Structure 1
Amino acid sequence: MYFERTNNAKIVMIVLGVLFTLLTFIFYGISNFGELIHYGIADRLMRKIDTVVFFIFAVLSFAASIVLHFIMKDAQDELDAMAAQISREIEKAKQAK
């Protein structure tokens, strides 16, 4: 397979996305984020900021893994098409001789 590193990077991004999602839920639970949403109470502000930051990192990690998957798939299709075209050209050259 041509894209082992890309596939490994995709898996790492998925794992990071899961990790950041878990951290988002953990920090959401300990930060009383609902108070900020409903009442505007801003105690434990750093934990609330951590919740938002981890959520953003989780979304970006999942998005990056999806983008890497589609880039890898598209590049593989392109390489397969080029290999097929080269094979056809070689066969044409053999038949012309």
Structure 2
Amino acid sequence: MAAQAADRPSALVQEHLDAAGAPMLGAGSALPPPETCLITRFARFESAGEFLILRALAPGVTLMDIQRTTPVDYIVDLDTITALRRT
């Protein structure tokens, strides 16, 4: 139970994502296939570090490329409104 709570975004992060129209569903949510992801913007939240906002359907940029080169805590896909917490 404690591990599940640790995977949830903080209330402040959830508030910012809700305001942006991108509610976070929590750790383990599905992301689009790696070959369809593209960086579209960054957002910084004081209590949560850096968030990488992805948009689907971008040939040539893979999720694995992003994970290797970008230190982020959460990856959020605005097209499917899902998120994955990096460990």
Regarding TM over 0.5, the answer is no
Structure of greater Rg = 1
- State the TM-score, normalized to the length of structure 2: 0.24
Q: Greater strand percent: which structure?
A: 2
- State the TM-score, normalized to the length of structure 1: 0.22
Q: Greater helix percent: which structure?
A: 1
